[in-house]
Amino acid sequence: MPAGTYPFDVGDQRVTGWHHHDLHQLEYCFEGVAQVETAAARYLLPPHQAVWIPAGVEHCTSLTRVRTMSVFFHPSFGIMAGDRPRVVPVAPILREMVLYAARWPIGDPDRTAGPTAAAFFTAIGSLVEESLQDELALVLPRSDHPLVSAAIDYTMANLADVTVEDLCRSIGTSTRTLRRLFRAETGLTWQRYLLRARILRAMAALAEPGPSVIATAMACGFGSVSGFVRAFRQITGTTPLAYRKACTLRGGDAGSGALPDTGAVQRPAGR
């Protein structure tokens, strides 16, 4: 089957378990926040963005009160897929095409095999390939190095008030060694990793009803709201308040709104 779509509307929470596909997957999030994990990194998928998962990549997806549409492509479409997931921005035209693509569910080969579907998914694939050049920094790398792995675990467990001195004392290394190894293993300085981790945790918190922006900033380790807003905008391109609104705006920030009724569809293997 060359291409097709599969919608998800998760009322509470669902974890797919570790799996992979023979097809490339683009998952677009209409509302809520999803997370995709691989052996190398953890990716956060906020509303109105998409995550690209190349064929063959082992991953686990966590869905909490989200509405998403996945578009699947056979590798024969020739998309420059890469070897790892990427979170990418979705232009309005691509979002509308994802909505329209729901007319070709992955479990209906009679509808997905025609020339119109092939031409349409080829066009989407071209737009996806362009989007992959604008990857968003909504990813936290992992490491197999025992010292760096321990540093990541300690950092995530103490995100609100961690200091490099406490971290080094806890895992038994020097600040100089930590900084050298951390950057070599993850591609980020420890300070940059910490900032990104705090923002990603804040994004997950703001997607839920409850804590205010001020409370979220404090809980995630920011000493001031202004500093939090500045860092949030730097990484996400928007403000915490605008992001929270987008998380609960049903049907997208503009455009047609509801997903069309595609009838019964068959889940692709592993998903």
**Looking at the domain assignment, is residue 175 inside a domain?**
yes
Range(s) of the domain holding residue 181: 143-247
This prediction's pTM: 0.81
DSSP 206-239: HTSSSS-HHHHHHHTT-S-HHHHHHHHHHHHSS-
The verdict on 95 and 196 lying in the same domain is: no
Q: Are residues 120 and 13 in the same domain?
A: yes
Asked if 23 and 100 sit in the same domain, the reply is: yes
Is 8 in contact with 65 (CB distance < 8 Å)? no
Task: Note down pLDDT in tens along the chain; length 271 residues.
Answer: 578 999 988 877 889 899 999 999 999 998 888 999 999 999 999 888 899 999 999 999 998 888 899 999 999 888 888 899 999 989 899 999 999 999 999 877 766 677 888 889 999 999 999 999 999 889 999 999 999 999 999 999 999 999 999 999 999 999 999 999 999 999 999 999 999 999 999 998 888 777 899 999 999 999 999 999 999 999 888 899 988 887 766 444 433 444 444 333 334 444 4
Whole-angstrom distance, CA of residue 231 vs CA of residue 238: 10
For residues 62 and 219, is the Cβ–Cβ distance under 8 A? Answer: no
Does residue 77 lie within any of the structural domains? yes
Among 270, 210, 209, 207, smallest CA distance to 243 is for 207
What are the tokens at 84?
A: 């790892």
**Does residue 158 share a domain with residue 243?**
yes
Alpha carbon distance 22, 160 (integer Å): 40
Residues 68 and 89 in one domain: yes
Distance CA 141, CA 193 (A): 9
